[in-house]
Structure 1
Amino acid sequence: MKKALFLISLFSLMLNAAPTACPQFYVDGEAPDIVNEKLVAQTKELCFEAFGVMHSGISKTPLWSAEYLTASAIDADVPRKDKFHEETLLPQSERAELKDYAKSGYDRGHMSPSADMPTESSQSESFSLANMVPQDHNHNTGIWSNIESATRYLAKKEGSLYVITGPIYKGTLKSIGNGVLVPTYIYKIIYSPKQQKAAVYFTNNEPGKAYHVISVKELEILSGISFFPKMSEEKKTQLLGLPEPKAMK
């Protein structure tokens, strides 16, 4: 199977809704708007089988990774096969390499999790470094793993969810390897079509069990990204009830 269906370069600093080649992963088919023009440079969209990525050649990580997560996809329960790989659809100068993570002290942290993937081919695609950020190991295997598990639990309960996961870079930044930036924060936006509400799990990329649930509006202010272009400002302040992060089936 072809590794990715589409690759789109964004050549301008347009602050309007960018066209997307993978509308199936977004509410109303509308991809997020990048409002902070500093984030637009060297962005490329990658559409995979079960998720879509907006990749930054500046951070050499995704700006976000988006999924339409269904109960049936989770029920597929595809056995995990760790096959991390470089994303050859990206220019070498803009992508992370396996050697960047070697002995870095950071995990290759999935944004769209492998456990969400409904097929072997989509799981393989989820191990692309275009879907990864340098993640604190204890964070990755602790609170973040529980957040991913809680998200799948909610998807089974609701039937389906739109999920957008990504990093935020603030303050004095660290990098690994050849300039792969380490996120300050990692977030997961969850939108329920059934309830027509959204909320965000928000965490520091560090050890510990701390997390916050914030509104989409709060995240937009922090990130410089408008995640749901068609959603009213009032709705962006409302909170979907999110389950407590813990290991769930």
Structure 2
Amino acid sequence: MKKALFLTSLFSIMLYAAPTACPQFYLDAEAPEIVNEKLAAKAKELCFEAFGVMHSGISKTPLWSAEYLTSSAIDADVKRKDKFHEETQLPVSERSELKDYAKSGYDRGHMSPSADMPTESAQADSFSLANMVPQDHNNNTGIWSSIESATRYLAKKEGSLYIITGPIYKGTLKSIGNGVLVPTYIYKIIYSPKQQKAAVYFTNNEPGKAYHIISVKELEILSGINFFPKMSEEKKAQLLSLPEPKAYK
């Protein structure tokens, strides 16, 4: 099944900026603004113990998942326990179900990774399908896993990071199950409070080792989301130096 593109020009639609109930996960305690009104139509914020999600009832996936990742959270090293589950805070008509992913050919891809979680309860939250997108298996276990590992390495080095991870839907779209959209691209924004700079890991949702590092400004144009409303355009165009994705310990 395919669906038409539901993103439009970043600058052609009025901003949608709902107050956030989980400001602790965002730079300056301010959540991103949704520029594209089609994305905002069925957007619902969910606050979890260690991350916040803006969920779309259109794609039945997160628009983004945000974390404030500290070195102490990584040091907790909570043993992984896979407990994928439907998100009961969402209406059934707007959420993905476990059966949607069954035999779909796609992984249930975490946006805020389980390995970032500081407690068992936070890790259990991370297995909510509200924090998942249909992700190519090779991408999920390959380059994307390395990007997540590199991000934790940088968090240890910097002390803390603000992170926003999410999908982009562009072109003619595929879906799985009962209308869960498959992302075209996946991104991870990294902001270092220490350096006061940001940059973005960006990948196609497909097999291979390719990735790009782009600016927040570039990502905003692609996504229809204003990720850092208080940040200047000049600063959004700057690039934080990001580590090469590899198997960091």
The answer, yes or no, to whether TM exceeds 0.5 is yes
Asked whether the 8 Å contact 1:107–1:134 carries over to 2, the reply is: yes
Asked whether the 8 Å contact 2:14–2:36 carries over to 1, the reply is: no
Percent identical: 90
2:204 — aligned with what?
A: 204
Q: Distance in 1 between matches of 2:60 and 2:38?
A: 14
Tell me, yes or no, if structure 1 residue 61 matches structure 2 residue 61.
Answer: yes
Structure number with the bigger relative contact order (C-alpha 8 A, sep ≥ 6) is 2
1:225-244 maps to which residues of 2 (within 5 A)?
Answer: 225-244=225-244
Task: Tell me the matched-pair count.
Answer: 237
Which one-letter code corresponds to 1:87 in the other structure?
Answer: E
Q: Distance in 2 between matches of 1:182 and 1:117?
A: 25
1:126 — aligned with what?
A: 126
Tell me, yes or no, if structure 1 residue 33 matches structure 2 residue 58.
Answer: no
Q: Is there any run of 5+ residues in structure 2 with no aligned partner, and where?
A: 1-12
User: Aligned with 1:105: secondary structure?
Assistant: coil
Q: Distance in 2 between matches of 1:209 and 1:143?
A: 5
1:169 — aligned with what?
A: 169
Instruction: Give 1:14 shift.
Output: 6.5
Render the CA deviation track for 1:99-126: whole Å, top value 9, x for unaligned: 0000000000000000000000000000
2:193 — aligned with what?
A: 193
Asked whether the 8 Å contact 2:16–2:37 carries over to 1, the reply is: no
Q: Distance in 2 between matches of 1:45 and 1:18?
A: 9
1:83 — aligned with what?
A: 83
Could you state the TM-score of these two structures normalised by the residue count of structure 2?
Answer: 0.94
Runs of 4+ that moved beyond 3 A = none
Instruction: Give 1:36 shift.
Output: 1.0
Q: Is there any run of 5+ residues in structure 1 with no aligned partner, and where?
A: 1-12
Q: Distance in 2 between matches of 1:247 and 1:24?
A: 29
Render the CA deviation track for 1:207-233: whole Å, top value 9, x for unaligned: 000000000000000000000000001
Q: Distance in 1 between matches of 2:136 and 2:21?
A: 32
User: Aligned with 1:174: secondary structure?
Assistant: strand
Q: Distance in 1 between matches of 2:71 and 2:25?
A: 15
Q: Distance in 2 between matches of 1:39 and 1:103?
A: 28
